[in-house]
Amino acid sequence: MSRFPNGFLWGGAISASQSEGAYDVGGKGLTIFDVTEAGNKNTPRKRHDKIENDIHYPSHTAIDFYHTYAQDIQLFRELGIQCLRTSINWTRIYPNGIEELPNEEGLAYYDALFDELLKNDITPVVTIHHSDTPLYIAEHYGGWINRTTVDLFLKYAKTVLCRYKDKIKYWIVINEINAINYVEWFSAAAENMTLQEKETASYHLLLANASVVCAAKKINPDFIMGGMVTDCHTYPYTCDPQDVFQSIQDKHRNIFFADVMCRGEYPSYKWKELNRFDIQLHIKEEEKNILKKGCIEFLAFSYYSSHVSSMVKDEDIQGNLIQNIKGKNNPYLKSSQWGWSIDPMGLRIALNEFYDRYELPLFIVENGLGARDDAKQLPYINDDYRIEYLREHIAAARDAVTIDGVDLMGYLVWGFIDIVSGVTGEMDKRYGLIYVDRNNKGQGSNLRYKKKSFEWYQKVIASQGEEL
């Protein structure tokens, strides 16, 4: 059997807003997550203008990682992971995003977290911005539509880059930067945007990404700076040339952000699209230089599912849209409990396409299966369905490396400890290899239990991916 190469990074991934809780502790301000209530498979999450007493906001408690990280890291060490991807919550550092000086208590918290990881031989992979725009910036500046947000974000980023320059090697600037195509609120901190506003916000996100890369290399030339997209790989629904062409257009929509981060300029297909819709982007000459100089050194991406594209418009097919939870699934693939297609070969295809296009090291920083676990099985949960999903996707990634020649840095299981689902705000949509006793209302003992997948992933890591 084949193995992943030496130095391959095995690990897991979480985010601050989905794990920490303690939303009003340590001088932290409110993020847009903190006023967004939970939804479910059929009901989208809803934002509020303020915190209301009778509403459950999942980020307020999450799994209380803020207080439990030391114990949790011992479990992570037992699992054998080499790295943990997590994020810094912007409002722990600048509570409203506009303060003159950072919040020392917030900075000290992440010092302690990173020190604990390093003490246990776990390399932190840190995301600077994981959808937690300060609520103040959303309300007073209009989020990422406003150019000022770029400057405020750069100030925050420089603060954490300087503070942790001797502790962190791998950085991801903005989580799933292309998710603005699907979740405006969490990506742009704005809603109901016009096409002009959406493209403006997209540009500001890309400018912020490049600006941080440029600043980081001045702070510590040894930083390894990455950008991240969510891979929404799409197949033509049929071999009808119209469907094939639609899939190309859908691909452009998703690959555009990676094109800019990797190549340092807007591609021609995007300029044509902007001209077609009379979208004006006022890009200054010095900003063009920032985009060019601020190219990323590795491309990180999340992968959960593939989709289909079609020009057909009926009750089953969303015309001119990539198929997702509500769309018709690929008839050749099984689906998860939340309606997401399960497509390991799609991961191999994505790895090949990304590497062929950019010839940059790649990093799978999110992959996993959201599923209901039977709490009646506690203290042990048999999650063979999760093992099957992970086994097939790791095998596909291994083939991409050992057969296809893709340069892959590592593989991180998303939510390898149960956390709040970003899409739905549920705890019942569990991704973890470690069960956390919390329900959708934030109730429970908050105790941790190892699932069957924990022991399985332990063996995968120990065998360098040979034993699946």
Active site residues: 176, 366
CB 295 within 8 A of CB 210: yes
Kindly compute the dihedral angle of the four CA atoms of residues 284, 287, 291, 293, in this order, to the nearest 10 degrees. Answer: 130
Which residues face 334 on adjacent strands?
342
Answer whether 48's CB lies under 8 Å from 154's CB: no
Residue 359 CB-density burial (10 A; 0-12 exposed, 13-18 middle, 19+ buried): exposed
Give the separation between CA 387 and CA 457, rounded to whole angstroms.
8
| Count of C-beta atoms within a 10 Å radius of residue 193 | 19
Give me 352's structure tokens: 């090949």
27 φψ region: left (φ > 0), alpha (ψ -120 to 50), beta (else):
left
Task: Say if residues 409 and 353 touch (Cβ distance below 8 Å).
Answer: no
Q: What angle do CA 32, 136, 419 make, to 5 degrees?
A: 20
DSSP, res 42: S
> Residue 329 gets which letter from DSSP?
P
For residue 3, which amino acid is it? R
2 SS3 class: coil
User: What's the CA gap between 69 and 83, in Å, rounded?
Assistant: 15
Task: Mark 410-420 as b/e (b = at least 16 C-beta within 10 Å).
Answer: bbbbbbbbbbb
Q: State the Rg of the chain over Cα.
A: 21
The structure tokens listed for 50 are 């303020």
- Is the alpha carbon torsion for 214, 217, 219, 224 positive or negative? positive
Q: Which residues pair with 170 in a beta bridge?
A: 125, 224
Q: What angle do CA 246, 302, 62 make, to 5 degrees?
A: 125
